Structure 1
Amino acid sequence: MPAWEHLGAWPVAVLEPEAVRSEVEAFWQRAHEDRERRGGELALDPEEGLVRPDALLARLESAPAIHVREIDPEERGIHFAARPVTGYAGDLRRLGADLRRASGTVVLFLGNTGRADRLQDVLREGGLAVGEGTRILTRVGALSGGFELPGSGLTVLADGDVFPEEVHLHLRGPRGGARSFLSDFRDLKVSDLVVHQDHGVGRFLGLETIEVGGAAHEFMVLAYQGGDKLKVPVEAFDRVQKYASVEGNRPAIDKLGSGSWEKVKKRVKKAMRDMAAELLQLYAERKARPGHAFAGESPWQREFEEAFEYEETEDQAAAIADVAADMADATPMDRLVCGDVGYGKTEVAMRAAMRAVLDGKQVALLTPTTILAFQHWKTFRKRFAPFPVTVDMISRFRTPREIKTVLQGTGEGRIDVLLGTHRLLSKDVVFRDLGLLVVDEEQRFGVAAKEKLKQLKTTVDCLTLSATPIPRTLQMGLAGIRDMSVIETPPKDRLAIQTMVVKFSTDVIASAIRQELARDGQVYFVHNRVESIYAVASMVQRLVPEARIAVAHGQMPEAELEKAMLAFVEGRADVLVATTIIENGLDIPRANTMVINRADRYGLAQLYQLRGRVGRSERRAFAYLLVPPDTVLSEVARKRLAAIREFSDLGAGFRIAALDLELRGAGNLLGGEQSGHIQAVGLDLYVKLLEQTILELKGQEPRDGPRAVLHLRLEMRIPEGYVPEVHQRMSLYKRLSQVRDAREIDALRAEIRDRYGALPREVEGLLRYAALRLRAEALGVAQVDLVARTLHLRLAPETPLRPEALAALVQAHPVLAPTVQGLKGALGEGQDALEGLATLFGLLEATLAPRAPGRPDRL
């Protein structure tokens, strides 16, 4: 009896109908082949035991059904004549002026109640009527972007249209830096695999609020083998990471209490220790080699930096300072600067180049493509023009005679900064005194070029720039084997790119191009097949006859390619139909729409790099990823396209790199054996364990020691009304559980207040709890339990508190008493647990204060 007979009139949800049709037919075919292979013995006859594909598919077509697709078929979609809206990036004065001029209804969707209330107050102070019964309404909700419906009198603005795009706060110090990209919970979904550091791989089921000791406490619920569940309190979220590993391989769910997880970790750490020791030896050898210590600040260096026309972001300034400190050291620099496309990595490189030139050294800048070299050449020449610095380039855009002149000038020291592709690594390129090597997108170079780079790096300072680091580079950067600076703060007024995955449609292409041309912009059309690129260019010309079209691909004669690129750069072409030759380097603020044909054929990092060519100004940019209308996409292709659409927020490059690692596999990460260990424990925990292993090999204390446990019967939750979005609450819980100094707590408090409004009592309690936990760890207090109205402190064996000081403290304060494990103290009248513990910690901290010479212990 077919399964559908049991469903009656119930509707059926069909996930990816085209993929279902393909799989049903393939399964039927395999069943017949299997029976034939076995000669009919012990094999089910498909004609008797299975429903025929045509019958099943006909049933699915005729029954009430919900068809769920990752990508909507364009021809069946419902189309609205909607137009994108202008972004304000926090300029509320301009918003107010536009709202006064608007004639219809304007609905503003804000991310949270606090932000909605603040915006209402600002608009009312400006004399505008806001709220029910007026034409300006505010709502709390999440929209990816606003729109205007011409003729309807309706305009909708999203949070991201009104305010600058929110960026995850970059916490500096030992726990800051690149780790936050991987360990954040912003991308965690129900049923995703997670890794608990102590219990192994489980499945995330969601959040649950439970009453503990009379107080509401939010927990993360994880499912394990045999139906067991583990409930992780918010203060222990730092023990949990999302599982990411080799493509197509999913680990078995662990069984709680079986001991197998500890064996897995032990095996991984042993193999990791051997590998890390070898890598550390290589880096130690490099560090031991003498290099050039560059001079410090000079008047010309300051003048060069002050000529920067934009305001530095905090991360950019930190990266500049990191590079300057490395260059001032005699050890050869080997720093990786990672930052999203357009976030200011080139400026970091130019300041380093100026520092080298002013110290009498030459600079080489190596790029993977001629186009990128050309773009950098233009940028460097413009930036260095007011200074006596000679910048030149060798590439296929130059004639042999020009190259000969440039090489001669380089050898004689007349050229200060030389840019080019791997041609710079040729034997005939000789520098008089090379001091700095800048490598852009190192992962795109071939093996031979990388070997030559490895040799060069041992003698000169090296600065590597990358938006999507290859896994190995990312791994080593995270684990502290390689110096790494992260720029994750977007430039002021930068908006996220609106990304759409659609079936190929000439209507979509024409509409996208015309929409961009209507706002005096330019369009990239990426088609990565040289043999058909001119046919595609002709199609675009037919669809939009008024557009001026240029074509660029890597097999064109140099002069023709240069002519096409210059036409687009200088605004004499509206649409550039190109291969992935434009993936790196082009920086054209007017180009804010990109159409990528056959987007299913690209890797995730490549899609991300391509999309980064647009959205480099304060205008909203659009990316259309076209897939064939009749092709069933593979699961990997669907996941890649879903990921690039999902990660449209600013600064997503690191998460793209991490997910690309999961999708492509990690076989070449640190060798085949290590990829198996990543598979066993997941990427994030692997990185964490490697970081600890390296610190141990260096004779340093691991940063992730056991955390103090405080059982204070507090409300441990963020009210849903204050932060309604569950992912945002989880992200805040994770960050609270990870803080390692008071400065991070203060920064987090300020950010929460700014994003969500005045802090409710529960959130203030969470922040105070985090601060007290830090104080407990500094005092060597392993655990605190509130029993009735008495605080019981269990001291760790390595506590810095001296027994004689504790005895004197107990004698001086009758409310205190010693216990077998430490001491206990009664809460004062009217004191809550947080106040009482703060008072008790204050007394203990006083015993650690340095004493004047000869002065006895006294409280």
Structure 2
Amino acid sequence: MNRLQMNLYEFLTHTKKVDILVVKNQKEGREAQQIFRYLKKPSLLLPDLRIEKFEDLRPYQYELFEIYNSFDQYYFSDNLITLIIPSATFQHPLPSKQIRKPLSLSFGDILEIELLEQIGYIDTGIVQNRGEFSFHSNRLDIYPINSNNPFRISLSEDMEIEEIREFSPVSQLKLDSDEVENIDIAPATFSLSKKRYKEILEEIENLSPNSPYSDIRSYGLWFLKDDELLDTKFKKIFHYSEIPQSKDLYDFQLEDIPTKREIYQKSNILLDDLVVGDYIVHKEHGIGIFEGLTQEKILGGLREFVKIRYQGDNHLLIPIEKLDLLSRYISATGSTPKLDRLGKGGFSKRSQKVRSRLHEIAKYIVELSAKRQLIEAPKIEKIDISPIRQQAGFIYTEDQIRAIDEILENLSKGYPMEHLLIGDVGFGKTEVAINIIYSVIKSGFQVAFLVPTTLLAKQHYTSIKSRLEKFGITIAHIDSFVSPKEKREIKKGVEQGNIDLIIGTHTILDFKFSNLALLIIDEEHKFGVKQKSKIQTNHSNIHLLSMSATPIPRTLHSALSNLKTISKLETPPNERVGVRTFLKEYDEAIIKNAILKELRRGGQVFYIFNSIAEIENKREELLNLLPSLKILIGHSKVPSKTLEREIVKFAEGEYDLLLSTSIIGAGIHIPNANTILIDGADRFGIADLHQLRGRVGRGDREGFCYFFIEDFQSLTENSRRRLKALEENSHLGSGNSLAMHDLEIRGGGNIAGESQSGHINDVGYSFYIQMLEDEIRKLTIGEGEIDEVEQDIELQLSIDGYISSELVPEERIRIEIYRRATSSQNLEDIQKIELELRDRFGKLDTPTIQFLDLLRIKILGKRAGVKFIQNRTKDIYISFWNGQKAHIKSPTRDDDDILKTILEWLKGI
């Protein structure tokens, strides 16, 4: 217990009431909260809100929600609660009790949707985050900021509440919990009268076009009047540092207060999978442009189609039940593809060529894996690793503990392990590796740690050495700055077994080892198969642990699981905080302020400018703003050794700002650089921007990321949408939320270990991965055992079948449901989709029910080898791929009878 805690302990034992305790920061706040908890006095610690006056508040929504929830408990609880408020937060306007009144909803109430907007909730179409709502088909989904889960409210036609139930933001399905009679919805901003709400909207509308405020959420606290603010005159407010000195010394055990953090649940609903204007790949017809959904009559039945434009302004309509044949085109290089011409067969030739190459790659991977299964490898016995955990200085996440256990289990099996550890930037992959290194070395073996860059080698060496050296472990590292003499000595030490752990770039692949048991590869997607297999060839009986921040494509996960074991880190460590993300028009005042803000807290800055020709001019512009700024320039034309040497100097604090092209996208981890400014952000891909943002906020210091663009008005709708997605998904672990298919491109074909950018560009990344999965699956299951590839089926039925816009109004949500429904592999999958639709949208209408039946017919027909099914009134004609034919009759011409007749016949054959 420190002196301030002693003072507070004595003060609180003699003081009956403390409304507000102002502390310097969150660290002091946690110290103070330890004393309150020891004395069993209720207290709430507010987050540290470090914002400039009149700043756009949208990036700070989670902190604001926490502040509002804390004030609500303070105002409306029967218990006396003390608010512990960091001074940075206390200096901003804070809400009064009168504008924090919750909106109460009960069974039988008449709901007014506009009241939700009035208290700051945003209509989003699909509800995944706090502060959002969605209203459709007499059903309201809402995620109160004061609730762990969102609620689904069923309404009568008169808007009377008939049912309230919790649902999962991940699956979007109702939970098994009991029906709720009433809920209190805390304002996402403030509880305002209609008149006051309209006043604020008018105020926002009258602001200049360049104003950062687009809605009440962004304007937030700044519009509050004096009578709507926390009245400090009648509150007992004390400052932690000014509490009188204690005359006595106290010493007792205090309970740790864990860092508060938002638990981010990742939804499995992926919106914006296909957006009008996107390039799209059809498995047979090739690359075209997606022009949206359209309804057309077929044989008298209304159906929905995907409209695709090809070269020569030719169009193709694809029945929606064949959506699984389409994927969004993603290149390996960000280049714009050439549209295919219908009927010319060019795409078929290209895809066959790619498939042949992928077969060779898949064969190489599978053979290598099979050979490893037959080899004996060192058995790493499980030992006590608690000393490592105890000296870490933080609590491990459940994911880290699980990953460590899984890897240690694999190491003990006696044959070579091949394990992939995946986790977003800063989620603790290195900490997992340290535990594994300790276990292997303490079992009497050596470890090699392969990294892609010199700087990363030095950083890993420094951090791992500080953790393991005290346990008698000898560590060395090799990079381009190590002298030839030192290199020879290190090489000899590794060969003789005097060095337990060697860290370095590809140079270490040529080393001879005394007793090597484990190779760890960091950022493994940056190494080719040949580089990775080189050390395995020389030491075929070693274990392999690969680490990557690149998410595995959904389609490849199951195929890879036949070849290697996989662990995922999906929860951020307690001390990690998100990166504040801002999307701004280029403004020198904002740039200057952002740089100064970072320098004042003793940090450094990255400035990304992707034009080598103009980079010197940009340096002059920055020096005009801040003449004393020490700037390092980095780009691909600077000699690599010079650049590496200077970046090491930057890491050691000799420069204030690194002005560079996007070469720092990966492999540069500088804990003291926590602000990044990206000039011309609209010219980068979303994956590149996410990766660049990952350079900052990697420790316990908050990171700031600014995306600058020249002109909002000139942005295309797609660019605007994707940049906004980055701004809004700034929380930890948001990699999967940010259009998973975009992030998958990091490293392109290198998931298979080969540089395949040309082949990826030919067919698009998603189709490339599907083909790779097919080839791996064929080889791992065995050609003799694998079913013949099911031929597609053509349905020519006079049936109305589609998900109606009356049931699901938003096209993007319909597309998302279509995408999952049409990729269903069995009748159970269709049943799950049907239950989800009923759960989310209520009673299904006839076209939607019939669309699901069409999918059931498609699944059963493909299994039976049916080529096409056609009806003429009651007569139904069925042709098989083997040439056989069938003719059946429906009892009536009604759609439901025709569908029922076909389904029953298919189930019976």
TM-score by length of 1: 0.60
Please report how far the alpha carbon of residue 432 of structure 1 lies from its aligned counterpart in structure 2 after TM superposition.
Answer: 1.9
Equivalence for 1:821? 886
Equivalence for 1:82? 55
Aligned with residue 658 of structure 2, among 577, 589, 604? 577
Contact between 1:89 and 1:165, CA under 8 Å: does it hold in 2? no
Is 1:125 aligned to residue 184 of structure 2?
Answer: yes
Contact between 1:594 and 1:614, CA under 8 Å: does it hold in 2? yes
Please report how far the alpha carbon of residue 548 of structure 1 lies from its aligned counterpart in structure 2 after TM superposition.
Answer: 9.1
Please report how far the alpha carbon of residue 236 of structure 1 lies from its aligned counterpart in structure 2 after TM superposition.
Answer: 1.5
Contact between 1:327 and 1:333, CA under 8 Å: does it hold in 2? yes
Contact between 2:676 and 2:704, CA under 8 Å: does it hold in 1? yes
Residue 367 of structure 2: SS of its match in structure 1? helix
Is 1:735 aligned to residue 820 of structure 2?
Answer: yes
Is 1:433 aligned to residue 504 of structure 2?
Answer: no
Is 1:705 aligned to residue 790 of structure 2?
Answer: yes
Is 1:242 aligned to residue 328 of structure 2?
Answer: yes
Q: Which moved more, 1:638-647 or 1:576-585?
A: 638-647
Residue 821 of structure 1: SS of its match in structure 2? strand
Q: Against the structure 1 CA distance between its residues 385 and 639, is the aligned structure 2 distance closer, same or farther, given a 3 Å change threshold?
A: farther
Quote the sequence identity (%): 24
Equivalence for 1:190? 276
1:422-449 Cα distance to aligned partner (Å, 9 max, x none) = 443455xx43211221222356579997
Q: Which moved more, 1:735-744 or 1:518-527?
A: 518-527
Equivalence for 1:152? 223
Distance in 2 (CA, whole Å) between partners of 1:709 and 1:234 is: 12
Equivalence for 1:42? none
Distance in 2 (CA, whole Å) between partners of 1:488 and 1:645 is: 26
Equivalence for 1:506? 588
Equivalence for 1:109? 122
Contact between 1:441 and 1:466, CA under 8 Å: does it hold in 2? yes
Distance in 2 (CA, whole Å) between partners of 1:200 and 1:534 is: 43
Q: Against the structure 1 CA distance between its residues 374 and 250, is the aligned structure 2 distance closer, same or farther, given a 3 Å change threshold?
A: closer
Q: Against the structure 1 CA distance between its residues 797 and 387, is the aligned structure 2 distance closer, same or farther, given a 3 Å change threshold?
A: farther
Q: Within 5 A, what are the aligned runs for 1:363-442? A: 363-381=447-465, 391-395=475-479, 410-413=494-497, 415-425=499-509, 427=511, 430-442=512-524
Distance in 2 (CA, whole Å) between partners of 1:832 and 1:352 is: 63
Contact between 2:559 and 2:777, CA under 8 Å: does it hold in 1? no
Equivalence for 2:87? none
Distance in 2 (CA, whole Å) between partners of 1:378 and 1:766 is: 63
Distance in 2 (CA, whole Å) between partners of 1:217 and 1:354 is: 62
Distance in 2 (CA, whole Å) between partners of 1:145 and 1:369 is: 46
Q: Against the structure 1 CA distance between its residues 643 and 458, is the aligned structure 2 distance closer, same or farther, given a 3 Å change threshold?
A: farther
1:230-288 Cα distance to aligned partner (Å, 9 max, x none) = 33233221011233457767445433xx4x33x75257426743662476257525632
Distance in 2 (CA, whole Å) between partners of 1:448 and 1:319 is: 27
Distance in 2 (CA, whole Å) between partners of 1:501 and 1:86 is: 12
Aligned with residue 341 of structure 2, among 232, 239, 254? 254
Please report how far the alpha carbon of residue 365 of structure 1 lies from its aligned counterpart in structure 2 after TM superposition.
Answer: 0.9
Which residue type is aligned with residue 202 of structure 1?
G
Q: Within 5 A, what are the aligned runs for 1:690-839? A: 690-693=772-775, 695-696=777-778, 698-699=782-783, 701=786, 705-706=790-791, 713=799, 715-717=801-803, 719=805, 722=808, 724=810, 726-740=811-825, 765=849, 772=856, 776=860, 780=864, 782=866, 821=886
Point out where structure 2 has 5 or more consecutive residues left out of the alignment: 1-51, 76-93, 100-117, 134-139, 147-182, 202-212, 226-260, 635-639
Please report how far the alpha carbon of residue 613 of structure 1 lies from its aligned counterpart in structure 2 after TM superposition.
Answer: 0.7
Distance in 2 (CA, whole Å) between partners of 1:358 and 1:744 is: 48
Distance in 2 (CA, whole Å) between partners of 1:541 and 1:83 is: 27
Q: Against the structure 1 CA distance between its residues 837 and 82, is the aligned structure 2 distance closer, same or farther, given a 3 Å change threshold?
A: farther
Contact between 2:427 and 2:570, CA under 8 Å: does it hold in 1? yes
Q: Against the structure 1 CA distance between its residues 354 and 466, is the aligned structure 2 distance closer, same or farther, given a 3 Å change threshold?
A: same
Aligned with residue 69 of structure 2, among 65, 88, 96? 96
Please report how far the alpha carbon of residue 187 of structure 1 lies from its aligned counterpart in structure 2 after TM superposition.
Answer: 5.5
Distance in 1 (CA, whole Å) between partners of 2:641 and 2:845 is: 65
1:113-155 Cα distance to aligned partner (Å, 9 max, x none) = 654155476766166685873878999xx9999633675349x
Contact between 1:292 and 1:329, CA under 8 Å: does it hold in 2? no
Aligned with residue 265 of structure 1, among 330, 348, 356? 348
Distance in 2 (CA, whole Å) between partners of 1:144 and 1:299 is: 57
Please report how far the alpha carbon of residue 623 of structure 1 lies from its aligned counterpart in structure 2 after TM superposition.
Answer: 3.0
1:743-772 Cα distance to aligned partner (Å, 9 max, x none) = 867887899899x68786689959965994
1:449-478 Cα distance to aligned partner (Å, 9 max, x none) = 77855755755333333446999xx99998
Distance in 2 (CA, whole Å) between partners of 1:623 and 1:780 is: 55
Distance in 2 (CA, whole Å) between partners of 1:211 and 1:283 is: 48
Equivalence for 1:464? 546
Is 1:565 aligned to residue 651 of structure 2?
Answer: yes
Contact between 1:717 and 1:762, CA under 8 Å: does it hold in 2? no
Distance in 1 (CA, whole Å) between partners of 2:856 and 2:352 is: 32
1:191-248 Cα distance to aligned partner (Å, 9 max, x none) = 4432322344433211124577998643211234676543323322101123345776
Equivalence for 1:280? 363
Residue 107 of structure 1: SS of its match in structure 2? coil
Distance in 1 (CA, whole Å) between partners of 2:66 and 2:218 is: 20
Distance in 1 (CA, whole Å) between partners of 2:623 and 2:271 is: 45
Distance in 1 (CA, whole Å) between partners of 2:832 and 2:440 is: 36
Distance in 2 (CA, whole Å) between partners of 1:410 and 1:448 is: 23
Equivalence for 2:430? 346
Contact between 1:335 and 1:482, CA under 8 Å: does it hold in 2? no
Which residue type is aligned with residue 453 of structure 2?
T
Equivalence for 1:54? none
Equivalence for 1:11? none
Equivalence for 1:611? 693
Distance in 2 (CA, whole Å) between partners of 1:282 and 1:341 is: 27
Distance in 2 (CA, whole Å) between partners of 1:476 and 1:720 is: 36
Q: Against the structure 1 CA distance between its residues 275 and 826, is the aligned structure 2 distance closer, same or farther, given a 3 Å change threshold?
A: same
Equivalent pairs counted in the alignment come to 695
Q: Against the structure 1 CA distance between its residues 747 and 511, is the aligned structure 2 distance closer, same or farther, given a 3 Å change threshold?
A: farther
Contact between 1:781 and 1:793, CA under 8 Å: does it hold in 2? no
Q: Against the structure 1 CA distance between its residues 733 and 281, is the aligned structure 2 distance closer, same or farther, given a 3 Å change threshold?
A: same
Aligned with residue 204 of structure 1, among 272, 285, 290? 290
Please report how far the alpha carbon of residue 626 of structure 1 lies from its aligned counterpart in structure 2 after TM superposition.
Answer: 6.1
Contact between 2:293 and 2:305, CA under 8 Å: does it hold in 1? yes
Name the structure, 1 or 2, with higher relative contact order (CA <8 Å, separation 6+): 1
Distance in 2 (CA, whole Å) between partners of 1:321 and 1:144 is: 48
1:161-211 Cα distance to aligned partner (Å, 9 max, x none) = x987774639xxxxxxxxxxxxx8835443443232234443321112457
Distance in 1 (CA, whole Å) between partners of 2:308 and 2:360 is: 35
TM-score by length of 2: 0.57
Please report how far the alpha carbon of residue 684 of structure 1 lies from its aligned counterpart in structure 2 after TM superposition.
Answer: 3.4
